[in-house]
Amino acid sequence: MSKKENLTSSEKRDSFTSKTGFILACIGSAVGLGNIWLFPYRVGQFGGAAFLIPYIIFIVLLGYTGLMGEFAFGRMSQTGPIGSFKMALETKDKKWGGFLGIIPVFGAFGIAVGYAVVVGWFIRFLVGFITGSAISSADSGAYFGQIAGPFGSTVWHLIALVAVTIVLTSGVSKGIEKMNKIMMPAFYVLFVVLVVKVLTLDGAVDGLKYMVFPEWSSLLSPKTWIYALGQAFFSLSLAGSGMIVYGSYLKRDVDIISSAKNTVIFDTLGAFLAGLIIIPAVFAFGLDPAAGPPLLFITIPSVFKLMPFGRLFGIIFFVSVLFASITSLMNLLEVPIEAVQSTFKLSRKLSVAIVVIAAFLIGLFVENGDVLGSWMDFVSIYIIPLGAFIAAVMFFWVIGIEKAKSEIECGSEKKLGKLFEISAKYVFVFLTIFVLIAGILLGGIG
Ligand code: PHE
């Protein structure tokens, strides 16, 4: 066997080819359903523009601590959560770190299962707008009801997973990086087009007021702060999984501090643009903004039915939300794929096949809209913050804050101060536990 053939895929680790590619992939992970179907609703629920204050405080704080931590942890270990936690605990002569790593892998896989179903719905709606069926149906609720019934979207769900499989089997640089470089800029351009269109509709001003008028008194309610924290947390994909895995494909000369900063800025921008489209559009036609699936799949299609050139704008809308969600799905699936690939030393193709087939089979049972809601709640309330908590403890405490700090600084001209140490080691770790407990008590905050 030649030397080249000797290098199996597990030995040759794929990587992002540029800082921009890495940042776009991280933005692709961060901008997803959290930004589109939750953020606009939360803004309305908790005091309009006033909500942005705690949201921005938390997203900056989380970006400065947890997000940089996950990137650097992955880059240091050159592997996902299983290998990273194992490496961390081995420095203390403990061998069971790998088992703990299974928790965030299941968290990412669990969210991926539900996401794949929703991406299938987006494809279904995109096709529905292209053919006109989504616009000619008399009752948008009934139209969606059919799709979100038990086994109601199997074909679309399958199409979503086949599309992602093609990207993921091509690897990190040729698949994930390339697609994010196309889809994320396109997402922003299309969203800006939609904002311009929506804000010129009669009556959009009321919605705009709802989005930007601050109701300061809501800042006195602890719930505003708790939900802003949960929103920022989920939106940055802090789960001890996806961002560690993307970090593991990062070269040592890439500036993690500025990458985290860009991810925070563009994630917030994505959420804000979504709010500027959805809320004014819904108000312009006298509809009620809802949260979750009904907003995107019943209310918004009703808006496009009433809008001039609604079919065209419906197509633009569903292309952009499809891009936003499919790039998150890639990140979520990459976590179990990397885990299977490096734990069992399997080829990339086989690992992708195992994970995608499992996601599809389990996903068949969550195609029903109600089951999907409970499934996503369970994973995002219990497993996601737990994964983020364990990752933070492993990196900031077990590996140690000094080492963590120098790992983050590697590749950057900036140095982190004492404030970072306190924020990461105490504040961030406390917030992960807080998100877990508040989520359980309030039935989900992110
Ligand atoms: N941040 C994504 C969103 O807002 C969801 C996500 C969570 C993605 C955790 C990856 C990991 O929809």
pLDDT in tens, the chain (446 residues): 344 434 444 457 899 999 999 999 999 999 999 999 899 989 988 988 899 999 999 999 999 999 999 999 999 999 999 999 999 999 999 999 999 999 999 999 999 999 999 999 999 999 999 999 999 988 999 999 999 988 989 999 999 999 999 999 999 999 999 999 999 999 999 999 999 999 999 989 988 888 888 999 999 999 999 999 999 999 999 999 999 999 999 999 999 999 999 999 999 999 999 999 999 998 899 888 777 788 899 999 999 999 999 999 999 999 999 999 999 999 999 999 999 999 999 999 999 999 999 999 999 999 998 999 999 999 999 999 999 999 999 999 999 999 999 999 999 999 998 999 999 999 999 999 999 999 999 999 98
Per-residue model confidence (pLDDT) at position 8: 43
Cα 236 to ligand 1 centre (Å): 7
SS3 414: coil
Which atom of ligand 1 sits closest to the CA of residue 30? 1
Nearest CA to ligand 1 atom 12: 32
Tokens of 337: 């794929």
Best residue among 106, 235, 326 to mutate for probing ligand 1, ranked by most atoms within 8 Å of CB: 235
8 Å CB contact between 30 and 267:
yes
**Separation of CA 387 and ligand 1 centre (Å):** 13
Please give the number of the atom of ligand 1 that sits closest to the Cα of 241: 11
| Residues at CB less than 6 angstroms from ligand 1 | 29-30, 32-35, 108, 111, 234-235, 237, 239, 242, 328, 331-332
pTM value surpassing 0.85: yes
Cα–Cα dist 81/70, whole Å:
9
Find the helix packing angle between 256-284 and 204-212, rounded to 10°: 140
List the alpha helices (DSSP H) in 200-309. Answer: 204-212, 222-235, 242-248, 256-284, 293-294, 300-306
User: What is the Å distance from ligand 1's center to 131 Cα?
Assistant: 30
d(CA 231, CA 47): 15
Residue nearest to atom 6 of ligand 1 (CA): 237
Residue 11's pLDDT is what? 52
Give the separation between CA 23 and CA 96, rounded to whole angstroms: 32
How far, in Å, is the centroid of ligand 1 from the Cα of 7? 33
Atom of ligand 1 nearest to the CA of 33: 12
Specify the pLDDT at position 4. Answer: 40
**Ligand 1 atom closest to 384 (CA):** 9
